[in-house]
Amino acid sequence: MLRLVHTLVFLLPALFLAHSIKASAPKAAVYTGCKVPNTVALTFDDGPYINQTDISKMLVEKGAKGTFFVNGYNYECIYGKKVAARLQATYNAGHQICSHTWDHPDLTDLNATEIQAESDKIDVALQKILGITTQFIRPPYGSYNNMVRQVLSNKTFIIWDFDSGDSVGASVQESENAYDQAIAGNVTSLLALNHETEKTTVSDVLPYAINKLQAAGYNLVTVAECLGMAPYTSVEPLGQRDATWFCPEERSGD
Ligand SMILES: *[C@@H]1O[C@H](CO)[C@@H](O)[C@H](O)[C@H]1NC(C)=O
Ligand SMILES: *[C@@H]1O[C@H](CO)[C@@H](O)[C@H](O)[C@H]1NC(C)=O
Ligand SMILES: *[C@@H]1O[C@H](CO)[C@@H](O)[C@H](O)[C@H]1NC(C)=O
Ligand SMILES: *[C@@H]1O[C@H](CO)[C@@H](O)[C@H](O)[C@H]1NC(C)=O
Ligand SMILES: [Zn+2]
């Protein structure tokens, strides 16, 4: 008995350490703003959703580009026929597509295996649908810690330095005022958080912001462009639908 206790005393800390990550392990880089002067990166989270094409067209008409941080299964299943086709069209229009995890959890609530799966599942979907491997991920709620950065150490985390407030109850007027204030402050660049799932972002705030920002002389570019980095670690032709294009959440529901 004494010998067993003795063994456990030495074994337990060793077991624990084997499952934790060393503080010195590499961590994902985190960017909260753009690097290239005079750029604005308009970003749109939580899709793919019904108004993505409207956003894409609005930007293209103004010679602008946007960045979409998409989920695999949040508002819609990314593999849905219309949804996947819409995402391919957005990508083909020149916008940047990035990861926002599979189903939008707070990553700091998850263990290492779960964090990796959240990233891998959406990355696989983007590889299948768009042929790309994305370098960039925005952790949901902008929430991360050292463990999240270590598990996803070869990703680049993108946060923001400007929030339109659209997902936290800002009115159209408040969002527009926020853009006006940034412009009045003569900011060098903006990494702007918006949500493609908010109706008035699409119908009101976005057209307003595009006009005001361009009138003030900003270039509306992708996040990769505003950082001077490559958006993807590999680029292949668009994927073709096959039997693996489904969300397990939907299959199990029918
Ligand atoms: C992580 O969480 C999942 C689901 O809660 C669990 O099944 C798994 O054992 C956990 N893994 C580790 C290494 O703790
Ligand atoms: C991250 O590292 C893993 C394992 O080394 C590799 O398979 C994957 O392609 C890398 N991803 C990126 C985006 O570099
Ligand atoms: C805005 O900032 C730029 C440099 O960042 C400067 O050249 C310009 O004079 C500023 N304009 C105003 C109105 O302050
Ligand atoms: C958003 O999508 C809905 C449904 O297709 C459409 O009725 C609405 O006009 C769209 N909004 C904008 C601003 O394009
Ligand atoms: Zn989100």
Tally the residues of the chain.
254
Structure tokens of 204?
């009101």
Pick the CATH number of 29-251 from 1.10.3720.10, 1.10.10.60, 3.30.300.30, 3.20.20.370: 3.20.20.370
| pLDDT category of residue 20 using cuts at 50, 70 and 90 | low
Ligand nearest to the backbone CA of 188 = 3
Q: Which member of 109, 195, 242, 254 is catalytic? A: 195
Residue 13: cis peptide before it, omega within 30 degrees of 0: no
- Whether residue 157 contacts residue 138, with contact meaning beta carbons closer than 8 Å, is answered with yes
Position in ligand 3 atom list of the atom nearest CA 37: 5
Domain extents in the chain: 29-251
Rounded to the nearest angstrom, the distance between the alpha carbon of 113 and the centre of ligand 1 is 7
What is the model's pTM?
Answer: 0.90
- Encode pLDDT of 46-102 as tens digits: 999 999 999 999 999 999 999 999 999 999 999 999 999 999 999 999 999 999 999
- Encode pLDDT of 95-130 as tens digits: 999 999 999 999 999 999 999 999 999 999 999 999
Burial class (CB in 10 A: 0-12, 13-18, 19+), 10: exposed
Placement of tokens 């990166």 in the chain: 41
The reply to whether 54 belongs to the active site is no
The verdict on the CB of residue 186 being under 6 Å from ligand 3 is: yes
Q: Which member of 19, 45, 46, 204 is catalytic? A: 45
- Whether residue 150 contacts residue 25, with contact meaning beta carbons closer than 8 Å, is answered with yes
Query: Is the pLDDT score of 30 beyond 60?
Result: yes
- For the chain, the distance separating the N- and C-terminal CA atoms, rounded to the nearest angstrom, is 53
- More confident call, 246 vs 23: 246
